[in-house]
Amino acid sequence: MNIRAPNILLHLIRIFLLSIIVNNASAQLLKNKHSFRILWDNDFINVRGDGTDRYYTNGMRVDYFYTKSQKARFPSSLLLDISDEHNNIYGWGIAQFMFTPKNISVIDIQYDDRPYAGAFYSIHSLQSINKLDKTKVTTEIRLGVTGPLSFARETQTMVHRIINDTKPLGWKNQVPNDIILNYNINIEKQLLQPSKQIILVGIIETFSGTTYNAAGSGFMLRVGKFNNYFDDISVPLATERNKLQLYVFMKPIFRIVLSNALLEGGLLNQFRSQETGYVLSKDQIERVVVLYDVGITFEMPKYRVIISQKSIGAEFKGQYNQEYGSLILQFKL
């Protein structure tokens, strides 16, 4: 099958999603409340000092968040609004994530190991809170590309050259170009709050689309000094809130996975011959994955810092459990 047309389409999608982010973000600068968030994940960051360079090896995400009073229009109207008092935070973001096998110094395909894979996509999100029900629903639409068009190869190669680290040699075998179009839902519901210093929140999540299809559940436990988790947007006066927040948290999730395009290849991969790239078969995918996140948050009125250590169970047969560090910086503008 001739894949030039799909590749041209993927190039156009990449340009289009970048223009959406710029246009919509700039249009919201006059709104009252907006913030900027940077997320960085890396598998070399490990509190036990045994960082690696394999599997989920690096992730970067940048988001611009804002509130608005007017009625949501397309594509914001596709997101789930449960708020009781316009308790909504919208967002536009962009992200790049990359994955490698255990040994990046091998140039040939490493069969039965994780494929090289990259993803580059835009995110349109809505965090919607119902204070009365103590419920928060976060929905995301993701649009982008996987494969060489994600520029994951170029990014990792450049960074490793700058820091004089091992050159990754196997990117020519990466998962082929494909389309990312996913709709993700995360529902959080307060289960218990015995005091102002402790809260237990139940979590249900779903992922649907061309890249990742899964569903999971778990909980989040937060202990320390923090504001009410379900009215972060609507409390009008700083005097009614803690100016300094400091708390620890833990969040275990059990997830059932139906498909993962970063392991198996995506939608277009089903309609073309496998001439380039390496992917796993569906029989190699682990259908139950356990994730765990534990960390600490420090927050002042104008900024927030979150440092956490994350663990993810095997996503395919023969994979080791993986730990990686995560750093989030958020600034109110």
Give the CATH number for residue 80.
2.40.128.140
Q: How far apart are CA 92 and CA 16, in angstroms?
A: 14
* Local structure of 261: helix, strand or coil: helix
For 252, the token pair is: 């275990």
* Longest Cα separation, the chain: 64
- CA torsion 39-43-47-51 (nearest 10°) is -150
Contact 284, 246 (CB under 8 A): no
Q: Give the model's confidence band at 29: pLDDT under 50 very low, under 70 low, under 90 confident, else very high.
A: very low
Which stretch of DSSP H or E encloses residue 262? helix 261-264
Report pLDDT for 277. 85
Q: How far apart are CA 81 and CA 72, in angstroms?
A: 9
Q: Minimal CA–CA distance to 39: which of 53, 59, 65?
A: 59
| Domain housing 307 | 4-332
Q: How far apart are CA 78 and CA 182, in angstroms?
A: 12
For 137, the token pair is: 């629903």
Looking at the structure of the chain, the number of domains it has is 1
Q: Give the model's confidence band at 151: pLDDT under 50 very low, under 70 low, under 90 confident, else very high.
A: very high
Instruction: Give the residue, 131 or 273, on which the prediction is more confident.
Output: 131
5 Cβ contact list (under 8 Å, min separation 6): none
Please give the DSSP secondary-structure letter assigned to residue 285: B
pLDDT tens-digit series, residues 12-25: 555 555 555 554 54
Contact 14, 145 (CB under 8 A): yes
Q: Is the dihedral of CA 17, 19, 25, 27 positive or negative?
A: negative
Q: Which amino acid, 170?
A: G
Q: Give the model's confidence band at 87: pLDDT under 50 very low, under 70 low, under 90 confident, else very high.
A: confident
Report pLDDT for 30. 40
Q: How would you classify residue 188: left for phi > 0, otherwise alpha for psi between -120 and 50, otherwise beta?
A: beta
What radius of gyration do the chain's Cα atoms show?
20
Mean residue pLDDT across the chain: 87
The count of other CB atoms within 10 Å of the CB of residue 36 is: 15
pLDDT tens-digit series, residues 258-300: 999 999 999 887 776 656 789 999 999 999 999 999 999 999 9
Q: Give the model's confidence band at 95: pLDDT under 50 very low, under 70 low, under 90 confident, else very high.
A: very high
pTM for this model (two decimals): 0.87
